């Protein structure tokens, strides 16, 4: 798993599919996304892949990633333990903070794009989980700001923030066990005669078993 790219790839693909819907709102879609950037009515890109000058002629959604980290949901993140081999299974959740910067030369249009993203992510949270996310949380619209493009024109940016979490699993198998063999015996005798004997042993398995 590559958590830093997984969250971005998932949301980028979701937004591109979302804005490729011909009847996105009120029976139409003025921001129809197309794989060909020359014909697409909106740019949906990762941060630092496009310069702002290209975004002046049409609206854009730029995805930026914030922090990513472990959520430490349980003690030692232990999922399972095999007493025979010493193999431990672990699991934990990884969170990733994402921001969608909705950009336009028109402030109201930037706000409208933010509204579409804000509601779309919440409405289709189940589909996002089905694509690999464990949870979609903290979806919120931030404050509007003005940014300067490369050609000195101002763009309005309205951020939509969210947090995605993913489940990660890993296994640790020690190269060798501290104890090679354990043998226990329980005997019960009466009048010198053995009436019960129980023995249990555990031996490290051979290679390849």
pLDDT tens digits along 188-200: 655 666 545 555 5
> What is residue 165's predicted lDDT score, i.e. its pLDDT?
95
CATH architecture of 3-70+92-167: 2-Layer Sandwich (3.30)
In this prediction, residue 184 carries a pLDDT of 58
The whole-number pLDDT of residue 43 equals 92
Low-confidence residues in the chain, pLDDT < 70: 1, 3, 48-56, 149-152, 176-209
Tokens of 169: 């699993």
Domain boundaries, the chain: 3-70+92-167
Give the tens place of pLDDT for each residue, 86-101: 888 999 999 999 999 9
Q: What is the pLDDT of residues 174-190, one digit of tens each?
A: 876 555 555 555 556 55
Tell me the whole-structure pTM to 2 decimals: 0.76
pLDDT of the residue at 158? 97
Give the integer Cα–Cα distance in Å for 46 and 7.
11
pLDDT at 209: 47
């Amino acid at each position: 798993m590559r958590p830093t790219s997984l969250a971005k790839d998932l949301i980028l693909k979701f937004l591109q599919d979302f804005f490729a819907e011909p009847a996105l709102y009120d029976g139409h879609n003025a921001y129809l996304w197309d794989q060909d950037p020359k014909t697409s009515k909106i740019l949906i890109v990762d941060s630092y892949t496009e310069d702002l000058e290209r975004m002046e002629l049409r609206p854009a959604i730029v995805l930026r990633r914030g922090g990513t980290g472990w959520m430490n949901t349980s003690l030692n993140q232990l999922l399972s333990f095999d007493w025979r081999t010493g193999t431990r299974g672990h699991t934990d959740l990884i969170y990733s903070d994402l921001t969608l910067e909705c950009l336009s030369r028109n402030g109201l249009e930037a706000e409208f794009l933010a509204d579409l993203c804000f509601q779309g992510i919440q409405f289709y949270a189940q589909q996002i989980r089905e694509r690999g996310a464990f949870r979609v949380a903290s979806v919120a619209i931030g404050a509007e700001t003005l940014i300067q493009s490369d050609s000195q024109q101002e763009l309005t940016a309205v951020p939509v923030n969210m947090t995605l979490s993913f489940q990660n699993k890993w296994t640790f198998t020690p190269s060798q066990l501290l104890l090679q063999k354990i043998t226990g015996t329980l005997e019960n005798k009466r009048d010198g005669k053995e009436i019960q004997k129980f023995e249990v042993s555990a031996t490290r398995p051979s290679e390849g078993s």
